[in-house]
Amino acid sequence: MISNPDSLVIEVKPKAISACCPDCGYSWQQVHSRYHRRLADLPWQGRPCTLLVSARRFRCPERACARRTFAEPLDGSAIHRGRHTSRLVDLQRYIAFALGGSAGARMAERISCPVSADTLGRRILDTGVDPEKRACPRVLGVDDWAWRRGRRYGTILVDLEQNKVIDLLPDRQSETLACWLRDHPGVEIVARDRAGAYADGIRQGAPSAIQVSDRWHLLRNLSDAFLAVIDRHSAVAKRIAAELYRRPQPKATLRHGARRVGRPRTLSQPAVAAAVIRRGEIFEDVKALKDSGISHQEIGRRLGMERKRVRRWLQRGHAPNWTHAQRSSIVDDHAEYLHRRMAEGCRNVSQLWRELVTFGFEGKRSVVYQWLEKPRSLENEYDDTSRAPVPLGRRLARLLLTSPTRQSITEREFIARLLSVEPALAKASRWVKAMDLLLRKNAVLVLDHFSALPHKACRLSG
């Protein structure tokens, strides 16, 4: 044993007196020569450990055997032609599966068995798969995955009954998937997205398999359809929110010589209005081309727009205004007090924050400073109304699907008034809740209810 402060070397010799020739299989004892193998082993007392093995080469005197000499095998102790013991390889494999390459290499360094990230990756690739795990799945999940997002994609195949990835295909072409399915017969059900290439590949490779839509993609399609319905009623939602949220504020007057403390708007109102008019003109061109029978792709090519954007604009029925709703703040409850103190001439943020703390305010000084810096606070100081966030898009969708017990009083009032004015939104919300219950909870009663309805009644529209 050679002990160093940062490493440990142990000299070992095999006990066997004979070895079997790998070709003829006979056991021989005549030693031809000796050589040393250095095998990295598990750490000992926090130090990397190396085994210096004095291995032997044996003679094979069998005349019918083509091999004259052979090396002494270390079965169970080291891999063939490897420089690591089998137990160290197993440890590296466990680390690789648990943490991956870079993180696993850092962990291995901490436990005194250093290894590179590339080696950990090879440990995963060299892992053998049992024949039972190679069996063809009955329920197969098919989806794409990115080699490089936006550039190159492949196909991932998952056994949905065991929740395990079984194979990766280099691309997402129908021929590649069909070839894999022909080589793995026995697939009965295939869950996929709405990509046409996958549908063609399944029909070619497994024509008897049942194709179903994946639950995630069904929920995504349901969400997109619900957002399209909400967008068509955004104008009504803005009007109701303006009536509900805007409260009269006492108009404050500036002290003589006082300076406004808010930062100016980054975009002038005339520029915003011009952009709205320009988008409206583009929408009229899109609508005119669509009425003349031109496809979405051709409309996008002529007007320099993406095909998906053309479809969204036509589904919405108007050009988007892209106004960003302002978020609420914990300072809003003390807005009236801050307006009065600023009208009195107090501009010291620290002083205002200390006064709010005496009223039970739990926020930090920086929150008050940011609130005073926003253009919203300036308008509240000099205008007759205060602007509050208008729930639109995904935020409005969450409000419509959230239980009333988890909504604030103002949110419940807003939703009640909105649904009373727009019954189509109420109907769409009920449908989305029912579909979500069906997909997530496997509610059979909901499925029976949908099956009994006519096809047109199951469409989200509004």
Tell me, yes or no, whether 107 and 163 share the same domain.
no
**Is residue 166 located within the same domain as residue 81?**
no
Of the chain, the end-to-end C-alpha distance in Å amounts to 82
| Shared domain check, 261 and 355 | yes
Give mean pLDDT, residues 225-241: 83
Q: For 301-344, write each residue's pLDDT tens digit.
A: 888 888 888 888 888 787 777 655 556 678 888 888 888 888 88
In a shared domain, residues 287 and 365: yes
Query: In the listed set 382, 416, 443, which residue is the last one of a domain according to the structure?
Result: 382
Whole-structure pTM value: 0.48
CATH number of the domain that residue 148 is part of: 3.30.420.10
Question: Based on C-alpha coordinates, what's the Rg of the chain?
Answer: 35
**Ramachandran assignment for 221, one of left (phi > 0), alpha (psi -120 to 50 degrees), beta (any other):** alpha
Does residue 132 lie within any of the structural domains? no
Task: Determine, yes or no, domain membership for 131.
Answer: no
Percent of the chain's residues with pLDDT above 70 = 82
Range 149-177 average pLDDT: 88
| 189-192, strands of its sheet edge to edge | 164-169, 152-159, 139-148, 189-192, 210-213
Residues 268 and 312 in one domain: yes
Whether 377 and 446 share a structural domain: no
Q: How large is the average pLDDT for residues 189-213?
A: 89
**Within this chain, do residues 372 and 397 fall inside the same structural domain, yes or no?**
no
- Structure confidence by residue, pLDDT tens digits, 45-94: 888 899 888 888 898 888 888 888 988 888 778 877 788 898 999 999 99
Number of domains forming the structure of the chain: 4
Same structural domain, 118 and 144: no
Task: Give the C-alpha separation, 391 to 231, whole Å.
Answer: 11
Does the residue 154 lie in any domain?
A: yes
Residue 244 lies in a domain: no
- The answer to whether position 232 is within a domain reads no
Domain interval for residue 451: 217-226+392-458
Give the domain-ending residue among 348, 382, 416: 382
pLDDT at 246: 58
Measure Cα distances from 123 to 85, 88, 90, 110, 433 in Å: 13, 11, 9, 19, 46
**pLDDT, tens digit, for every residue of 248-263?**
444 444 333 333 444 3
What is the rounded distance in angstroms from the CA atom of residue 199 to the CA atom of residue 190?
10
68 with 48, same domain: the answer is yes
Q: Specify if 134 maps to a domain.
A: no
By three-state DSSP, how is residue 156 classified? strand
**CB burial string 374-390: b at 16+ within 10 A, e below:** bebbbebbeeeebebbb
Please check whether residue 387 lies inside any domain of the structure. Answer: no
Question: How far, in Å, CA of 191 to CA of 205, rounded?
Answer: 15
Residue 233 domain flag:
no
Claim to verify: residue 146 and residue 120 sit in the same structural domain: no
For residue 231, the model assigns a pLDDT of: 83
In contact, 222 and 433? CB cutoff 8 Å: no
| Local structure of 420: helix, strand or coil | helix
User: Are residue 268 and residue 366 in the same domain, yes or no?
Assistant: yes
Mean pLDDT of the chain: 80
| Boundary residue ending a domain (326, 352, 382) | 382
What local confidence, expressed as pLDDT, does residue 14 receive?
A: 85
